[in-house]
Amino acid sequence: MGKVYLVGAGPGDPELLTLKAVKVISSADVILYDRLVCDEVLSYAKPECKLVYVGKEDGKHTIPQEEINRLLVYYASSHERVVRLKGGDPFIFGRGGEEALYLKRYGIPYEVVPGVSSLYSVPAYAGIPLTFRGVASSFAVVTGHEATGKEKSIDWKAFKDIDTLVILMGVKNRQRIAQELVKLGRKPSEPVAFVERGTTPEQRVVVSTLGEVAKDPPEVSPPAIMVVGQVVGLQGELSSLLENLKKNMEGVYNA
């Protein structure tokens, strides 16, 4: 019987992969990986490692979650080290908790290797601090993908007075989300930012307001994070500063 590692691959930039994640990936016999795991991260795997794609796209599972769970048990029964590799952190909207419970039920030993979450790293790369003295002292993260069936739906009232909202997987529902937040009392003039493909060379930032998104939402493509709050107003100034710092540091590394 082998061991399963539930590993967070970070938000996209391979340099944000943790040292422990690299160690586990490089020693894995089998890796089951998601859509947002980049090739640079997979390149740490040894040549003989079996790579199994189990990604999701637009809310649709290439392989149903139940089948992924069964695959983890199947590979753990015949391989020493099995890695379940997920974008971001496995326990933040990554269904890592469900997989851990399934493994426990079948007596499969497992270990969680946390990853850098997109919820704070992507806004940071875009120059948006989730908190800022005198501007925002609280933040919350919520999925923008409405649950279906018997699952609990999103209670937007709970987020009415939170200074900064980080909404993951909300691109498809961005107009309805903005309408709901305005209806609950958040100001239509409140700034909103969408960060596409955050922390990667293809990163793109679109800034708008809740009122504009509610009426005529800007074109945004997933994967993207939606940030609502006055801290978005700091984006222009801080993103320029961060870009200059990055260029200066590259000069130091290349010297």
Residue 27, judged by CB atoms within 10 A of its CB (0-12, 13-18, 19+), counts as middle
Give the lowest-confidence range in 71-80, 118-127, 142-151, 164-173. 142-151
C-alpha pair distances (Å), 252 with each of 125, 245, 247, 248, 249: 20, 11, 9, 7, 5
Closest alpha carbon to 227 in 219, 216, 235: 235
**What residues act catalytically?**
34, 56, 169
Per-residue pLDDT of 77-121, as tens digits, reads: 999 999 999 999 999 998 999 999 999 999 999 999 999 999 999
> What mean pLDDT value characterizes the chain?
90
Per-residue pLDDT of 17-58, as tens digits, reads: 999 999 999 999 999 999 999 999 999 999 999 999 998 765
Non-local CB neighbours of 11 within 8 Å, separated by 6+ positions = 87, 88, 116, 117, 118, 121, 122, 125, 198, 199
* Partners of residue 169 on adjacent β-strands: none
* Model pTM score: 0.88
All structural domains of the chain, each given as residue ranges with its CATH number in brackets, are: 3-116 (3.40.1010.10), 119-240 (3.30.950.10)
Per-residue pLDDT of 33-43, as tens digits, reads: 999 999 999 99
Give me the mean pLDDT over the 173-184 stretch. Answer: 95
Q: Left (φ > 0), alpha (ψ -120 to 50) or beta: where does 194 sit?
A: beta
